[in-house]
Amino acid sequence: GLSDEALARLTRLAAPHPAGTLTQPLRLTGAAGALPATGILCTHNGSSIATVEAFVGLGDPRVQALVERRVTFFELHTGHWPMLSAPAELCAVLLEAAAGGGHLLDPAAGERPAHLRPFLLDVPEQPRERAENIDLHLPRAQGPRPAVVFVHGGPVPAGVSPTPRDWPAFTGYGQYVAGLGAVGVTVDHRLHDITGYEQAAGDVAAAVERVRADPRVDEDRIALWFFSAGALIAADWIAAPPPWLRCVAASYPVLAPLANWGLSDTRFRPADALRTGGALPIVLTRVEHERVEIAATVQEFLTAAAARRRDIEVIDAPDAVHGFETADPTEEARQAVHAAVRSVLTHLGN
Protein backbone atom coordinates (compact mmCIF):
# COMPACT_ATOMS: atom_id res chain seq x y z
CA GLY A 1 0.00 0.00 0.00
CA LEU A 2 2.50 2.71 -0.96
CA SER A 3 1.13 6.10 -1.98
CA ASP A 4 2.43 7.69 -5.19
CA GLU A 5 4.30 10.22 -3.06
CA ALA A 6 6.00 7.52 -0.97
CA LEU A 7 6.89 5.51 -4.07
CA ALA A 8 8.43 8.59 -5.70
CA ARG A 9 10.45 9.26 -2.54
CA LEU A 10 11.67 5.68 -2.44
CA THR A 11 12.75 5.89 -6.07
CA ARG A 12 14.48 9.23 -5.57
CA LEU A 13 16.51 8.04 -2.59
CA ALA A 14 17.33 4.56 -3.90
CA ALA A 15 21.03 3.68 -3.98
CA PRO A 16 22.82 0.50 -5.01
CA HIS A 17 24.03 -1.93 -2.38
CA PRO A 18 27.78 -1.93 -1.80
CA ALA A 19 29.42 -4.69 -3.82
CA GLY A 20 30.54 -6.31 -0.59
CA THR A 21 26.98 -7.34 0.24
CA LEU A 22 27.14 -9.73 -2.69
CA THR A 23 30.80 -10.74 -2.66
CA GLN A 24 31.65 -11.04 1.04
CA PRO A 25 30.04 -14.09 2.70
CA LEU A 26 28.15 -13.61 5.94
CA ARG A 27 30.00 -15.46 8.68
CA LEU A 28 27.60 -17.03 11.16
CA THR A 29 29.24 -17.36 14.57
CA GLY A 30 26.13 -17.99 16.67
CA ALA A 31 27.01 -15.07 18.92
CA ALA A 32 23.53 -13.59 18.54
CA GLY A 33 21.74 -16.91 18.92
CA ALA A 34 20.56 -16.28 22.48
CA LEU A 35 19.34 -12.72 21.96
CA PRO A 36 15.62 -11.88 21.78
CA ALA A 37 14.32 -11.76 18.21
CA THR A 38 11.17 -10.30 16.70
CA GLY A 39 9.62 -10.94 13.30
CA ILE A 40 7.31 -8.29 11.83
CA LEU A 41 5.16 -9.91 9.14
CA CYS A 42 3.47 -7.76 6.50
CA THR A 43 0.26 -9.61 5.69
CA HIS A 44 -0.33 -8.02 2.28
CA ASN A 45 2.87 -9.72 1.15
CA GLY A 46 1.39 -13.12 1.98
CA SER A 47 3.12 -13.53 5.35
CA SER A 48 1.17 -14.05 8.56
CA ILE A 49 1.51 -15.55 12.02
CA ALA A 50 -1.00 -18.22 10.99
CA THR A 51 1.25 -19.25 8.10
CA VAL A 52 4.29 -19.58 10.36
CA GLU A 53 2.27 -21.57 12.89
CA ALA A 54 1.09 -23.88 10.10
CA PHE A 55 4.69 -24.64 9.10
CA VAL A 56 5.57 -25.29 12.74
CA GLY A 57 2.59 -27.66 12.96
CA LEU A 58 3.80 -29.55 9.88
CA GLY A 59 6.99 -30.39 11.74
CA ASP A 60 9.26 -28.51 9.36
CA PRO A 61 12.66 -28.69 11.11
CA ARG A 62 13.72 -25.39 9.51
CA VAL A 63 11.26 -23.43 11.64
CA GLN A 64 11.27 -25.25 14.97
CA ALA A 65 13.60 -22.66 16.52
CA LEU A 66 10.81 -20.11 16.10
CA VAL A 67 8.86 -21.61 19.01
CA GLU A 68 11.57 -20.60 21.49
CA ARG A 69 10.37 -18.15 24.12
CA ARG A 70 12.89 -15.53 23.00
CA VAL A 71 11.19 -15.24 19.57
CA THR A 72 8.08 -13.10 19.12
CA PHE A 73 6.03 -11.97 16.14
CA PHE A 74 3.86 -9.06 15.09
CA GLU A 75 1.62 -8.51 12.08
CA LEU A 76 1.18 -5.31 10.11
CA HIS A 77 -1.69 -5.23 7.65
CA THR A 78 0.29 -3.63 4.86
CA GLY A 79 2.77 -4.65 2.18
CA HIS A 80 6.48 -4.13 1.62
CA TRP A 81 8.18 -0.99 2.94
CA PRO A 82 5.98 -0.55 6.04
CA MET A 83 8.14 2.37 7.13
CA LEU A 84 6.52 4.27 4.26
CA SER A 85 3.06 2.70 4.04
CA ALA A 86 2.33 2.45 7.79
CA PRO A 87 5.02 4.41 9.69
CA ALA A 88 2.98 5.08 12.84
CA GLU A 89 1.91 1.46 13.17
CA LEU A 90 5.47 0.28 12.58
CA CYS A 91 6.84 2.60 15.27
CA ALA A 92 4.27 1.32 17.76
CA VAL A 93 5.20 -2.28 16.98
CA LEU A 94 8.93 -1.59 17.32
CA LEU A 95 8.39 0.04 20.71
CA GLU A 96 6.29 -2.90 21.88
CA ALA A 97 8.94 -5.33 20.62
CA ALA A 98 11.66 -3.44 22.51
CA ALA A 99 9.54 -3.78 25.65
CA GLY A 100 9.40 -7.55 25.23
CA GLY A 101 5.95 -7.79 23.65
CA GLY A 102 4.74 -9.79 20.70
CA HIS A 103 3.03 -13.05 19.82
CA LEU A 104 4.66 -16.28 20.97
CA LEU A 105 4.17 -19.29 18.74
CA ASP A 106 2.43 -22.05 20.63
CA PRO A 107 3.51 -25.57 19.70
CA ALA A 108 0.35 -26.76 21.51
CA ALA A 109 2.12 -29.53 23.39
CA GLY A 110 -0.01 -32.63 23.62
CA GLU A 111 -2.45 -31.47 20.93
CA ARG A 112 -2.59 -32.73 17.38
CA PRO A 113 -1.92 -30.13 14.69
CA ALA A 114 -5.05 -29.03 12.86
CA HIS A 115 -4.21 -31.02 9.70
CA LEU A 116 -4.00 -34.27 11.71
CA ARG A 117 -7.33 -33.95 13.50
CA PRO A 118 -10.29 -36.13 12.46
CA PHE A 119 -12.24 -35.51 9.26
CA LEU A 120 -15.52 -33.73 9.89
CA LEU A 121 -17.66 -36.59 8.53
CA ASP A 122 -17.99 -40.15 9.77
CA VAL A 123 -17.69 -42.22 6.59
CA PRO A 124 -17.90 -46.00 6.19
CA GLU A 125 -14.55 -47.67 5.59
CA GLN A 126 -13.81 -48.69 2.00
CA PRO A 127 -10.95 -50.73 0.49
CA ARG A 128 -7.74 -48.79 0.01
CA GLU A 129 -4.72 -49.64 -2.14
CA ARG A 130 -1.32 -47.93 -2.31
CA ALA A 131 0.86 -47.72 -5.42
CA GLU A 132 3.90 -45.47 -5.61
CA ASN A 133 2.73 -41.94 -4.70
CA ILE A 134 -1.02 -42.56 -5.00
CA ASP A 135 -3.67 -44.27 -2.91
CA LEU A 136 -6.87 -45.62 -4.44
CA HIS A 137 -10.00 -45.59 -2.28
CA LEU A 138 -12.17 -48.13 -4.03
CA PRO A 139 -15.96 -48.39 -4.15
CA ARG A 140 -17.58 -51.76 -3.69
CA ALA A 141 -19.58 -51.31 -6.90
CA GLN A 142 -18.41 -53.41 -9.83
CA GLY A 143 -17.27 -52.21 -13.24
CA PRO A 144 -15.18 -49.19 -14.25
CA ARG A 145 -16.09 -46.24 -12.04
CA PRO A 146 -15.44 -42.50 -12.32
CA ALA A 147 -12.54 -41.13 -10.28
CA VAL A 148 -11.89 -38.00 -8.24
CA VAL A 149 -8.21 -37.10 -7.82
CA PHE A 150 -7.55 -34.99 -4.71
CA VAL A 151 -4.52 -32.68 -4.99
CA HIS A 152 -3.11 -31.31 -1.73
CA GLY A 153 -1.68 -27.85 -1.21
CA GLY A 154 1.61 -26.75 0.25
CA PRO A 155 4.42 -26.23 0.28
CA VAL A 156 4.81 -29.37 2.40
CA PRO A 157 8.47 -29.75 3.46
CA ALA A 158 10.26 -32.88 2.25
CA GLY A 159 10.48 -35.52 4.95
CA VAL A 160 7.29 -34.53 6.77
CA SER A 161 5.46 -37.54 8.19
CA PRO A 162 2.71 -38.47 7.64
CA THR A 163 2.57 -37.25 4.06
CA PRO A 164 -0.60 -35.54 2.79
CA ARG A 165 -2.26 -38.67 1.36
CA ASP A 166 -2.40 -39.95 4.95
CA TRP A 167 -3.81 -36.74 6.41
CA PRO A 168 -7.36 -37.23 7.71
CA ALA A 169 -8.88 -34.65 5.35
CA PHE A 170 -7.67 -36.43 2.23
CA THR A 171 -8.31 -39.96 3.43
CA GLY A 172 -11.74 -38.71 4.52
CA TYR A 173 -12.57 -37.30 1.10
CA GLY A 174 -11.24 -40.42 -0.62
CA GLN A 175 -13.31 -42.74 1.57
CA TYR A 176 -16.38 -40.52 1.25
CA VAL A 177 -16.50 -40.53 -2.56
CA ALA A 178 -15.65 -44.25 -2.63
CA GLY A 179 -18.67 -44.89 -0.44
CA LEU A 180 -20.76 -43.03 -3.01
CA GLY A 181 -19.53 -45.14 -5.91
CA ALA A 182 -16.51 -43.25 -7.30
CA VAL A 183 -12.81 -44.05 -6.98
CA GLY A 184 -11.15 -41.58 -4.61
CA VAL A 185 -7.49 -40.91 -5.36
CA THR A 186 -5.07 -39.20 -2.98
CA VAL A 187 -1.69 -38.10 -4.33
CA ASP A 188 1.62 -37.11 -2.79
CA HIS A 189 3.36 -34.58 -5.04
CA ARG A 190 6.63 -32.69 -4.62
CA LEU A 191 5.52 -29.16 -3.84
CA HIS A 192 8.14 -28.91 -1.11
CA ASP A 193 8.80 -25.20 -1.61
CA ILE A 194 7.48 -22.35 -3.73
CA THR A 195 9.87 -23.19 -6.57
CA GLY A 196 8.42 -26.70 -6.87
CA TYR A 197 5.27 -26.06 -8.90
CA GLU A 198 6.67 -27.39 -12.17
CA GLN A 199 7.71 -30.65 -10.53
CA ALA A 200 4.45 -30.96 -8.59
CA ALA A 201 2.39 -30.38 -11.74
CA GLY A 202 4.32 -33.17 -13.45
CA ASP A 203 3.68 -35.49 -10.51
CA VAL A 204 -0.06 -34.79 -10.67
CA ALA A 205 -0.24 -35.30 -14.45
CA ALA A 206 1.62 -38.62 -14.17
CA ALA A 207 -0.65 -39.76 -11.34
CA VAL A 208 -3.75 -38.96 -13.38
CA GLU A 209 -2.47 -41.06 -16.28
CA ARG A 210 -1.81 -44.02 -13.96
CA VAL A 211 -5.29 -43.68 -12.51
CA ARG A 212 -6.90 -43.58 -15.96
CA ALA A 213 -4.98 -46.72 -16.94
CA ASP A 214 -6.40 -48.70 -14.00
CA PRO A 215 -9.10 -51.09 -15.30
CA ARG A 216 -11.32 -50.28 -12.32
CA VAL A 217 -11.49 -46.63 -13.42
CA ASP A 218 -13.63 -45.23 -16.22
CA GLU A 219 -10.90 -43.33 -18.07
CA ASP A 220 -13.42 -40.94 -19.61
CA ARG A 221 -14.88 -39.72 -16.30
CA ILE A 222 -12.23 -37.96 -14.22
CA ALA A 223 -12.47 -34.97 -11.84
CA LEU A 224 -9.57 -33.09 -10.27
CA TRP A 225 -10.06 -31.48 -6.86
CA PHE A 226 -7.41 -29.01 -5.69
CA PHE A 227 -6.85 -27.63 -2.20
CA SER A 228 -5.23 -24.43 -0.95
CA ALA A 229 -2.01 -23.52 -2.78
CA GLY A 230 -2.27 -26.71 -4.83
CA ALA A 231 -4.94 -24.91 -6.84
CA LEU A 232 -2.30 -23.08 -8.89
CA ILE A 233 -1.66 -26.44 -10.58
CA ALA A 234 -5.25 -26.30 -11.86
CA ALA A 235 -4.20 -23.64 -14.38
CA ASP A 236 -2.89 -26.21 -16.87
CA TRP A 237 -6.10 -28.22 -16.73
CA ILE A 238 -8.39 -25.18 -16.96
CA ALA A 239 -6.45 -23.76 -19.92
CA ALA A 240 -6.62 -26.94 -22.01
CA PRO A 241 -9.03 -29.48 -20.50
CA PRO A 242 -8.92 -32.92 -22.12
CA PRO A 243 -12.32 -34.38 -23.06
CA TRP A 244 -12.21 -36.93 -20.24
CA LEU A 245 -11.85 -34.23 -17.57
CA ARG A 246 -15.44 -33.64 -16.50
CA CYS A 247 -14.90 -31.18 -13.65
CA VAL A 248 -12.34 -29.20 -11.66
CA ALA A 249 -13.03 -28.44 -8.00
CA ALA A 250 -11.10 -26.23 -5.60
CA SER A 251 -11.44 -25.78 -1.84
CA TYR A 252 -10.18 -22.63 -0.07
CA PRO A 253 -7.91 -22.19 -3.09
CA VAL A 254 -4.99 -19.89 -3.71
CA LEU A 255 -5.76 -18.83 -7.29
CA ALA A 256 -2.78 -16.57 -7.99
CA PRO A 257 0.78 -16.56 -6.65
CA LEU A 258 1.00 -14.42 -3.53
CA ALA A 259 3.02 -11.22 -3.65
CA ASN A 260 6.06 -12.53 -1.76
CA TRP A 261 6.40 -15.77 -3.72
CA GLY A 262 8.48 -14.34 -6.56
CA LEU A 263 6.37 -16.08 -9.21
CA SER A 264 5.36 -13.10 -11.32
CA ASP A 265 6.42 -14.87 -14.53
CA THR A 266 4.64 -18.21 -14.28
CA ARG A 267 1.98 -20.12 -16.15
CA PHE A 268 0.35 -21.17 -12.87
CA ARG A 269 -2.36 -18.49 -12.93
CA PRO A 270 -5.86 -19.99 -13.08
CA ALA A 271 -7.51 -16.63 -13.90
CA ASP A 272 -5.38 -16.33 -17.04
CA ALA A 273 -6.19 -19.94 -17.93
CA LEU A 274 -9.87 -19.03 -18.25
CA ARG A 275 -9.12 -17.35 -21.60
CA THR A 276 -8.90 -20.71 -23.34
CA GLY A 277 -10.65 -23.06 -20.95
CA GLY A 278 -13.96 -23.56 -22.72
CA ALA A 279 -16.93 -24.71 -20.67
CA LEU A 280 -15.19 -26.99 -18.17
CA PRO A 281 -17.34 -27.06 -14.99
CA ILE A 282 -15.58 -25.54 -11.97
CA VAL A 283 -16.80 -26.00 -8.38
CA LEU A 284 -15.23 -23.61 -5.85
CA THR A 285 -15.62 -23.92 -2.07
CA ARG A 286 -15.04 -20.55 -0.41
CA VAL A 287 -14.56 -20.10 3.34
CA GLU A 288 -15.87 -17.07 5.19
CA HIS A 289 -12.77 -16.52 7.33
CA GLU A 290 -10.14 -16.74 4.61
CA ARG A 291 -6.85 -14.86 4.85
CA VAL A 292 -7.27 -11.50 3.15
CA GLU A 293 -4.50 -12.04 0.61
CA ILE A 294 -5.88 -15.47 -0.40
CA ALA A 295 -9.45 -14.18 -0.61
CA ALA A 296 -8.20 -11.51 -3.02
CA THR A 297 -6.94 -14.20 -5.42
CA VAL A 298 -10.35 -15.90 -5.33
CA GLN A 299 -12.09 -12.63 -6.11
CA GLU A 300 -9.65 -11.97 -8.96
CA PHE A 301 -10.51 -15.38 -10.41
CA LEU A 302 -14.26 -14.86 -10.09
CA THR A 303 -14.00 -11.41 -11.65
CA ALA A 304 -12.07 -12.85 -14.59
CA ALA A 305 -14.67 -15.59 -14.96
CA ALA A 306 -17.51 -13.06 -14.98
CA ALA A 307 -15.73 -10.98 -17.62
CA ARG A 308 -15.57 -14.07 -19.83
CA ARG A 309 -19.12 -15.13 -18.96
CA ARG A 310 -17.87 -18.30 -17.35
CA ASP A 311 -20.19 -19.78 -14.75
CA ILE A 312 -18.38 -20.87 -11.60
CA GLU A 313 -20.34 -22.81 -9.00
CA VAL A 314 -19.43 -21.22 -5.67
CA ILE A 315 -20.22 -23.11 -2.48
CA ASP A 316 -19.83 -20.89 0.56
CA ALA A 317 -18.81 -22.39 3.89
CA PRO A 318 -20.16 -19.96 6.53
CA ASP A 319 -17.95 -19.25 9.54
CA ALA A 320 -15.33 -21.67 8.15
CA VAL A 321 -11.55 -21.29 8.07
CA HIS A 322 -8.81 -22.46 5.73
CA GLY A 323 -8.54 -26.24 6.13
CA PHE A 324 -11.89 -26.38 7.90
CA GLU A 325 -12.46 -30.11 7.31
CA THR A 326 -10.21 -30.89 10.27
CA ALA A 327 -9.44 -27.47 11.78
CA ASP A 328 -12.95 -26.36 12.70
CA PRO A 329 -15.73 -28.83 11.88
CA THR A 330 -19.24 -27.36 12.12
CA GLU A 331 -22.62 -28.37 10.75
CA GLU A 332 -22.36 -25.62 8.12
CA ALA A 333 -18.96 -26.98 7.09
CA ARG A 334 -20.37 -30.49 6.77
CA GLN A 335 -23.14 -29.19 4.54
CA ALA A 336 -20.56 -27.44 2.34
CA VAL A 337 -18.60 -30.69 1.92
CA HIS A 338 -21.79 -32.60 1.11
CA ALA A 339 -22.75 -30.00 -1.49
CA ALA A 340 -19.33 -29.92 -3.15
CA VAL A 341 -19.03 -33.71 -3.33
CA ARG A 342 -22.58 -34.00 -4.66
CA SER A 343 -21.84 -31.46 -7.39
CA VAL A 344 -18.57 -33.09 -8.47
CA LEU A 345 -20.13 -36.56 -8.63
CA THR A 346 -23.06 -35.17 -10.64
CA HIS A 347 -20.63 -33.79 -13.22
CA LEU A 348 -19.07 -37.26 -13.37
CA GLY A 349 -22.46 -38.81 -14.07
CA ASN A 350 -22.17 -40.88 -10.92
Q: What is the mean pLDDT of residues 164-185?
A: 97
Confidence of residue 108 (pLDDT cuts 50, 70, 90): low
Q: Residue 111 pLDDT > 70, yes or no?
A: no
Flag whether pLDDT at 342 surpasses 90.
yes
Model pLDDT, residue 258: 87
Mean pLDDT highest for which of 245-249, 269-273, 274-278?
Answer: 245-249
pLDDT tops 80 at residue 35: yes
Encode pLDDT of 45-78 as tens digits: 777 888 788 778 777 777 778 888 889 999 999 8
- pLDDT-based confidence at residue 32 (cuts at 50, 70, 90): confident
- Give the domain ranges of the chain: 36-110, 114-347
Looking at residue 92, its pLDDT comes to 95
Question: 114-347 maps to which CATH number?
Answer: 3.40.50.1820
Report d(CA 321, CA 291) in Å as an integer: 9
Tell me the per-residue pLDDT of 275-297, one tens digit each, with 9 for 90 and over. Answer: 886 789 999 999 999 988 899 99
pLDDT at 240 over 90: yes
Cα-Cα-Cα-Cα torsion 262, 268, 273, 276, nearest 10 degrees, comes to 120
Higher pLDDT among residues 150 and 22, named by residue: 150
The strand pair at 183-187 and 134-137 is best described as antiparallel
- How is 191-223 classified by DSSP, letter by letter? --SGGGHHHHHHHHHHHHHHHHHSTTEEEEEEE
